Structure 1
Amino acid sequence: MPIVDVPVTAGVSKASYTVVGQGPGLVLVHGTGATAQSGWAPVIGALSDSYTIVAPDLPGSGGTRDPGGPLVLEDLVAHVVATARDAGLDSFHLAGHSLGAVVATATAALHPARVDSLTAHGGWSRADARMVFQFRLWQRLALTDPAALARLLLLTAMGKNTLRGWDEAAFEQTAAGFAEQLGSSRDGFARQAQADAAFDLTELLPRVTAPTLIISSADDRVVPPHHQHEMADRIPRARLVRVPGGHALPAENPALLTARLGEHLADVG
């Protein structure tokens, strides 16, 4: 994977990113605890024939190595812009999930000339008290008990219809996979969870000028749907679409997420 130096608040970050495909630029920004590949592999596979896809590993994830400490929103935005530029994209379509939706929206607000369209799933403008409590619990468990965090995420991030069809073995197998992933990146997950609780897009949302699609999962218990409604209300001319499923839509139903993203990209041209 390519690496590019990104100046950040505490020094210089070595940002790792995936680049694949051909056509107009499409930058994909992953969620908390994920990586470019774990968060977006099905979407990358489906759309790389039509788009040059760039997917950065945010600080705390994958191959990116940054100076450490609390994550600054503008630094994460800098990773998005720097990896896109390093891949040869002057402008690009932009999509983000969860934390990635927050970072993608901030990027669209701070760099409007570079962003041709924005798609955000499971995002929020500012964490309310319930979400702050949740993200601080994630942070604590990431550092002390990744296995318990994996089980918590499994129960809250997946949609109820997905979980209803699982047997005990499916729960245990999926939780074990989550726990292994979290155990190898516990510090990065904790830093990203801390950032989830702190970021505030309230003043940035009205500055988004790109054609925007806000995707809200009806059964999202991590970031309840009213947060996406608020984003759509505050971003000029944003369109809101509700879909079935939970917060982990990229894992639960990647075909549905890809379809909605693809439709939006086709609409904006």
Structure 2
Amino acid sequence: MTLLHHRADGPASAPPLLLGPSLGTSYALWDAVAPELSPTHRVIRWDLPGHGGSPAGLLSPKATVADLAGLVLTLADSLGIERFAYAGVSLGGAVGLHLAVHHPDRVTSLAAICSSAHFGGSAPWEERAERVRREGLAGLADAADARWFTTGFTVPRLVRDHREADPASYAACCDALAAFDLRDLLDRITAPTLLVAGRADPATPPAHLREIADAVPSAALVEIPGASHLAPAERPEAVLTALRAHLGGDGRRGMAVRREVLGDAHVDRAQARQTAFTARFQDFITRYAWGEIWTDPTLSRRERSMITLTALVAHGHHEELAMHVRAARRNGLTPDEIGAVLLQTAVYCGVPAANAAFAVAQRVLSEKSDADAGTAG
């Protein structure tokens, strides 16, 4: 089985994020963005057929965006990825729109950047495909800067990728763009959707992204000034900011729950101590422990506090125990209920473990009592 050439960055345990390229480019289009997303996501960048490292011959003449989407799903399957967030530029964004419409069970969130639900009708793309099959890509590559970037800006690596792409594969991608029109199906998209437009983009101007935003329920639209068609290369900071806000649902939710349970003072201290070395671990805890486990409605926070206290006693994690005695009080447990939980641990975790736990809990509960007495009246 021949797969699209791809690159994976980030922890294997992190939520997967697939990044799709624009016609004529390689996954280098994401060079300034992907490394910044990889601490929190398993980032998979892929190359179009005949572009970058992907082999030619994966697409035939008269190919469709559905064919490209099928290649992306085959890649995801080969990597053991069932559900994924997706972001794509231009043709890569069209692939994401197709996936969100026709394979909604696979797409957890969608970002279409400098893209469209249609690309100006079939004639221009059919003409380009015919020209490329006849003349090759040299002429188009010479004019790439004007199509891709604002005046005076360029990325030589991307222009070189354009020049070195396989003409037959490029033309097949043009065929796919010629046949693409999802305007009547956009209201089927249920994944959280972000649209990013470059205000100076002549190929897919902001009106194209606004058309999608108006049709997709609850979609968000961001316009980036000073960006043309390849916004991730020209304005990576702005694209990164938009993607982080869009993709950070579990992180934002987890941080909110973490603060509610542990208190602002504790979380602020943990954040202040965070270093580049510990950043990924802190993100993992916030996203997974607090954003997924503690938000699961199957158990109440009171019940989760009782379980957590028991586990910490069993393993002798006394510093964590003190923190979670305070958390248990925030979650509504009374001192008597905390004492009952610790007494239960004496039976199943051992009397010495429970004895040490009672000492920790007594100290913490006394701190609270002292604070209450000090503020009384």
Which TM bucket (shorter chain)?
0.7 to 0.9
Higher gyration radius (CA): 2
More RCO (CA 8 Å, sep 6+): 1
- AA aligned to 1:148 is G
User: Which residue in the other structure is 2:242 paired with?
Assistant: 260
- AA aligned to 1:17 is H
Structure 1 or 2: larger helix share?
2
TM (norm. structure 1) is 0.81
User: Which residue in the other structure is 2:26 paired with?
Assistant: 35
**Aligned partners of 1:120 and 1:215 also within 8 Å:** yes
**Aligned partners of 1:108 and 1:210 also within 8 Å:** yes
> How many residue pairs end up in the alignment?
245
- What is the CA-CA distance between 1:51 and the residue it aligns to? 0.7
- What is the CA-CA distance between 1:250 and the residue it aligns to? 1.9
Show the 5 A alignment for 1:74-85. 74-85=66-77
Any gaps of 5 or more consecutive residues in structure 1? 6-12
Any gaps of 5 or more consecutive residues in structure 2? 252-377
TM (norm. structure 2) is 0.59
CA distance in 1, matches of 2:158, 2:89: 20
Show the 5 A alignment for 1:123-162. 123-129=115-121, 132-133=123-124, 135-136=125-126, 138-143=128-133, 144=135, 146-159=137-150
User: Which residue in the other structure is 2:85 paired with?
Assistant: 93
**Aligned partners of 1:94 and 1:117 also within 8 Å:** yes
Q: 2:44 aligns with which of 37, 54, 71?
A: 54
**Aligned partners of 1:212 and 1:237 also within 8 Å:** yes
Structure 1 or 2: larger strand share?
1
CA distance in 2, matches of 1:177, 1:92: 26
**Aligned partners of 1:141 and 1:149 also within 8 Å:** no
Show the 5 A alignment for 1:196-235. 196-235=177-216
Whether 1:15 and 2:7 are equivalent positions in the alignment is: no
Q: C-alpha deviations, 1:36-88, integer Å up to 9, x for none?
A: 2x222222211112111122223332324415322222221112222122212
**Aligned partners of 2:65 and 2:177 also within 8 Å:** no
Which 10-residue stretch deviates more, 95-104 or 105-114? 105-114
Instruction: Name the Cα RMSD after superposition.
Output: 2.4
**Aligned partners of 1:149 and 1:179 also within 8 Å:** no
- What is the CA-CA distance between 1:187 and the residue it aligns to? 2.2
Give the % identical residues. 30
Which 10-residue stretch deviates more, 53-62 or 199-208? 53-62
CA distance in 1, matches of 2:97, 2:103: 10
Question: What SS is found at the alignment partner of 1:204?
Answer: helix
- AA aligned to 1:40 is W
CA distance in 2, matches of 1:58, 1:137: 20
